[in-house]
Amino acid sequence: MSAQDNEALFQQRVDDEQKVEPRDWMPAEYRKNLVRQISQHAHSEVVGMLPEGNWITRAPSLRRKAILLAKVQDEAGHGLYLYSAAETLGTGRDEMIDQLLAGKAKYSSIFNYPSLTWADIGAIGWLVDGAAIINQVMLCRTSYGPYSRAMVRICKEESFHNRQGYDILVTLCKGTPAQKAMAQDALDRWWWPSLMMFGPSDKDSPHSAQSMKWKIKRQGNDELRQVFIDRTVPQAELIGLKVPDPKLKWNESTQHYDWGEINWEEFHQVIQGNGPCNAERMAARRKAHAEGAWVREAALAYAEKKAKRKAA
């Protein structure tokens, strides 16, 4: 069969909503695109442990401490499933991690913002996980089987994360004036970066069109962003928080919120490494990796010795 026939058959399968599985023929670009996206997603889970992990030791009650620890643990688990899903495409976890540590692979820019107060833990769960879920629900229907199945599992846990984040803010908003101010401050700082999580506008998104055709992505960035806004604004109002966008207004005729303009200059700066915590996040990952090297070597050396003894 010619390459052209393969491509046409592949597209037909995708159009027919059949999942692509690891052993199936797939265009080299499809594979490359997926490895990029899935590994980026895995790295985001792992780097995403840092801003929240920052508050595990300061969580204000034992219940909150246990919930937060469980949540960050879930993220490590998501990282693992996603690395495994990417490995089915022939790229190993070590290689992907090396790319991250070398600064060649990206992760979600949202994690380059600092978690400064306890309310940020609420805002991350509510806004960051809330935005992630909208993207991930779409990805449950993505064309690549292992990615789609990983996402189904991840989505269930993410909705719990989203609720616990909102619950933190509900509690703060019912609390003392200082607690309420802490909640508003967190929304003020996390709102716009959360909107940026959906990526550039579709007209400026380099990977979007091809990803849509291959059904890796199924909805555009702008459409998903609007879903998030429409869902989140009433939740803010319900607990008396003000979304920091003077142009935000319900539009009766479109049945959507109209809203202001994202600061794309900030978006590009953070992607290029000039966000508030890019250097800290990478330093923390490199430190954990470097300081863990002897542990990984020991585990490997012991496993080899054990195998040798068994064979002898």
How far is Cα 191 from Cα 188, in angstroms, rounded to an integer? 6
305 part of the interface to other proteins, by CB under 8 A: yes
Considering only residues 149 through 188, tell me which ones interact with other proteins, judged by CB under 8 A.
168, 171-172, 174-176, 178-179
Rounded Cα gap, residues 116 and 163, in angstroms: 21
> What is the smallest separation between the CB atom of 141 and other proteins, expressed in angstroms?
27
Least CB distance to other proteins at residue 13 (A): 33
CB nearer to other proteins: pick between 169 and 241: 169
Tokens for 61, please give them.
């009650």
C-beta closer to other proteins: residue 53 or 276: 53
According to CB under 8 A, which residues from 76 to 95 bind other proteins? Answer: 76-77, 79-80, 83
Binders of other proteins among 87-146, rule CB under 8 A? 118
Instruction: Verify binding: residue 296, other proteins, rule CB under 8 A.
Output: yes
Whole-number Å distance between alpha carbons of 4 and 186: 52
Distance, in Å, from the CA atom of 64 to the CA atom of 54, rounded to the nearest integer, reads 14
Angle, CA 130 vertex, CA 134 and CA 223 arms, to 5°: 35
* 310 sits near other proteins (criterion: CB under 8 A): no
Contact between residue 220 and residue 208 where contact means Cβ atoms under 8 Å apart: yes
CB of 145 to other proteins, least distance (A): 23
Q: What span, in angstroms and rounded, lies between the C-alpha atoms of 55 and 186?
A: 14
| Shorter beta-carbon distance to other proteins: residue 168 or 187 | 168
240 binds other proteins (CB under 8 A): no
Task: Out of 103, 251, 302, 307, name the contact with other proteins by CB under 8 A.
Answer: 302
Taking alpha carbons only, the member of 105, 108, 99, 93 closest to residue 47 is: 108
SS3 content of the chain, % helix, strand, coil (to 5): 70, 5, 25
Provide, rounded to whole angstroms, the least separation between the CB of residue 127 and other proteins: 19
Token match 């269930």: residue?
Answer: 156
Contact of 100 with 285, CB cutoff 8 Å: yes
CA-CA distance, 85 to 23, in Å (whole number)? 13
Residue nearer to other proteins on the CB measure, 80 or 262:
80
Q: How far apart are CA 295 and CA 293, in angstroms?
A: 5
Q: Which of 22, 60, 90, 92 binds other proteins (CB under 8 A)?
A: 60
Residue among 72, 169, 195, 197 that touches other proteins (CB under 8 A): 72
CB 128 within 8 A of CB 190: yes
Q: How far is CA 121 from CA 44, 157, 208, 308, in A?
A: 17, 16, 31, 48
307 binds other proteins (CB under 8 A): no
Interactions with other proteins, residue window 35-54 (CB under 8 A): 46, 49-50, 53
Question: Residue 101 or 284: which CB sits closer to other proteins?
Answer: 284
288 binds other proteins (CB under 8 A): yes
Q: Which residues bind other proteins (CB under 8 A)?
A: 46, 49-50, 53, 56-58, 60-66, 69-70, 72-73, 76-77, 79-80, 83, 118, 168, 171-172, 174-176, 178-179, 284, 287-288, 291-299, 301-302, 305
